[in-house]
Amino acid sequence: MIKIYHNNRCSKSRCGLEILEESGKEFEVVKYLDNTLNKEELTDIIKLLGISPIDLVRKNEAIWKTNFKNKNLSDAQVITAMVENPKLIERPIIINGNKAVIGRPPELILNII
């Protein structure tokens, strides 16, 4: 089943949700700010995306700028930062089987559904 890791306050995430709704396919909405991801889940998502952990970080968030910017962090430390501060996770993330994409721009979602 398709999953969208969603933040309703984010316009790109809302657009991603709309694309999934219009597709007519079944999907699950994961509100990752309410149901936070653990290290294993986040690591699995990063592997599916085929990116480095730092590429999933929202670097303009105040939390990042205040606590982590310009620090030489390991991948494990970046993952820990996102687990402890889920606002740092880029959104939306859509997973369909063994494929995943960050919906920025939202049209990228069409490539995996």
Q: Structural domains in the chain? A: 2-111 (3.40.30.10)
75-103 residues labelled b (16+ CB within 10 A) or e (exposed): eeebbebbbebbebbbbbbbbbeeebbbb
d(CA 64, CA 5): 20
What integer pLDDT is reported at residue 104 of this predicted model? 94
Give catalytic residues, as residue numbers: 10
pLDDT tens series, the chain, 113 aa = 999 999 999 999 999 999 999 999 999 999 999 999 999 999 999 999 999 999 999 999 999 999 999 999 999 999 999 999 999 999 999 999 999 999 999 999 999 99
Task: Give all strands of the β-sheet with 99-102 in edge-to-edge order.
Answer: 27-30, 2-5, 93-96, 99-102
